[in-house]
Structure 1
Amino acid sequence: MTIHFVGGGPGAADLITVRAATLLARADVVVYAGTYLDADVLGHCRADVRRVDTQDLDLDQITAVLVEAAAAGQQVVRLCSGDPSLYSALAEQTARLDLAGVAWDVTPGVPAYAAAAAVLRCELTVPEVAQSVVLTRTQARSTAMPAGESLAAFAATGATLALHLAITRIRELAAELVADYGPDCPVAVVYRASQPEQQVLRGTLATIADQVEAAGLRQAAIILVGRALAREVAAESFLYDAARDRGAKRR
């Protein structure tokens, strides 16, 4: 049997892919991260599906559930929040499945940062303002960051930053980013984007920490930083410029 790692999207039941919904409907066992997923996503499952919440399980326990279910010939979905390519522990889980000789595949999902941008009605790559997006996190009580991947190094580029797993350190992060972005740089925090509990905070590097602390946010929030959030059009894309020779590519 094949273990299907499926992106559950940002939380809303209607923000998963058609393929994801199909796999959930066929599943005998769904292993999911209850901390981040809205329960409505599991509404795509059969009533008799076995549900395993991983929020209190370690990697060995999760792997054991997956391997045992596959050995029993059951259809298994490992439901990840957002997209499996980001902070899903896909690498270590699938390495163990490879050792156990269990087949697996991946179905992408809507990532949380994209859902947050949609809530803000914001493009993260604005011509002549920012043409790059850095997806990163910070280190607190977590795995060490690789050498060279410091927040200061990313900030020096001026790119739009999408900070994951960082909300509890918002004050020190904002202070660190001021040197490169300036105290008036727009910041948005989106908590549980697309879910019923969704909250949106807008401010600047000088003001956002106070707002986050007053709201009591401690998890499941994306921090977006950058001038692109101002939604001011400094220049228009060459792609749609009326002066562009549109026959050049065909020639």
Structure 2
Amino acid sequence: MISFVGAGPGDVDLITVKGRRLLEEADIVIYAGSLVSNEHLKFCKDECEIKNSASMTLEEVIEVMESGERKAQKVVRLHTGDPTIYGAIREQMDILDDKGISYEVVPGVSSFTAACSAIKREFTLPGVSQTVILTRIEGRTSVPESEDLEKLASYGASMAIFLSIQQIDNVVEKLKKGYGRSDVPIAVVYKATWEDEKTIIGTLEDIAERVKAEGINKTAQILVGDFIYGKYERSKLYDPKFSHEYRKASK
């Protein structure tokens, strides 16, 4: 069996119980070495074969998986965060489908939720935003024209921007045009949940300068929206005047 497992954002304890168990039982682990903490590998068996996919091609990764399957071995493909978000797993799964090799996907804690937890905020606030947009800016690889950052920002929703910190100036410029204002709160969280985590909170006016001053140019999540600062409405869920299936409204 092949298991695609989300390792979580950094802290090794943020992997799921199932993910940890699969690591402990694995005969082969192929891990994203440039992003996944090596601490996860301490839970593997001594005889476990470990491969770092940072220097491997798609074909080489599949070859290792296929070899393990032929030997009836348990193979874990360990991805950072949650494998279903910017994990490049679809192309792996499609090849496995073509080869008739079974697999499973085990979710993990994503860096965007870890980053929001790091700044102690909530993406979805009543009266502010009930939508979260996960995206990235165009870089060495393109994004669909309909998903240009400026267009997405025009919705005014809460945003989590991946893989874009190295273009912070361009990100800020597009966000200003999209939101139509420059006082929008923005947070940059470097290596969320790692020991060297660093958080910067500001506005579109000053964030680029502050990020550069800290020397942050990779491994950072960008969070944008009025959910970071500002007024919001009280949740109906715990409002004594609001009825639902489990509670009647008070008079």
The TM-score with structure 1 as length reference comes to 0.93
Provide the C-alpha distance between the structure 2 equivalents of 1:220 and 1:57, rounded to a whole number of angstroms.
20
On the 8 A contact 1:188/1:201 being kept in 2, the answer is yes
| Equivalent residue number for residue 174 of structure 1 | 172
Gaps of 5+ in 2: none
Structure 1 residue 62 displacement after superposition: 1.3
| Equivalent residue number for residue 14 of structure 1 | 13
Structure 1 residue 61 displacement after superposition: 1.4
Structure 1 residue 106 displacement after superposition: 0.6
CA change 1:247–1:36 in 2 (3 A) is closer
| Equivalent residue number for residue 36 of structure 2 | 37
- Deviating 4+ runs (over 3 angstroms): 246-250
- Secondary structure at the residue paired with 2:12? coil
| Equivalent residue number for residue 233 of structure 2 | 235
| Equivalent residue number for residue 53 of structure 2 | 54
Equivalence map 1:48-87=2 (5 Å): 48-87=47-86
Please say if 1:222 is aligned against 2:221.
yes
Gaps of 5+ in 1: none
Provide the C-alpha distance between the structure 1 equivalents of 2:50 and 2:195, rounded to a whole number of angstroms.
22
The one-letter amino acid of 1:189's match is: V
Provide the C-alpha distance between the structure 1 equivalents of 2:56 and 2:174, rounded to a whole number of angstroms.
34
| Equivalent residue number for residue 93 of structure 1 | 92
CA RMSD of aligned residues (A): 1.6
Structure 1 residue 248 displacement after superposition: 8.6
CA change 1:218–1:58 in 2 (3 A) is farther
The one-letter amino acid of 1:176's match is: K
1:153 to 151, 157, 181: 151
The TM-score with structure 2 as length reference comes to 0.93
- Secondary structure at the residue paired with 1:201? strand
Provide the C-alpha distance between the structure 2 equivalents of 1:204 and 1:48, rounded to a whole number of angstroms.
50
Aligned length: 247
Deviation readout 1:3-30 (Å, 9 max, x if unpaired): 0000100011110111001100000111
Q: Percent identity?
A: 37
Structure 1 residue 247 displacement after superposition: 5.1
Structure 1, 3-12 or 35-44: larger mean CA deviation: 35-44
Structure 1 residue 98 displacement after superposition: 1.1
Provide the C-alpha distance between the structure 1 equivalents of 2:53 and 2:132, rounded to a whole number of angstroms.
30
The one-letter amino acid of 1:179's match is: K
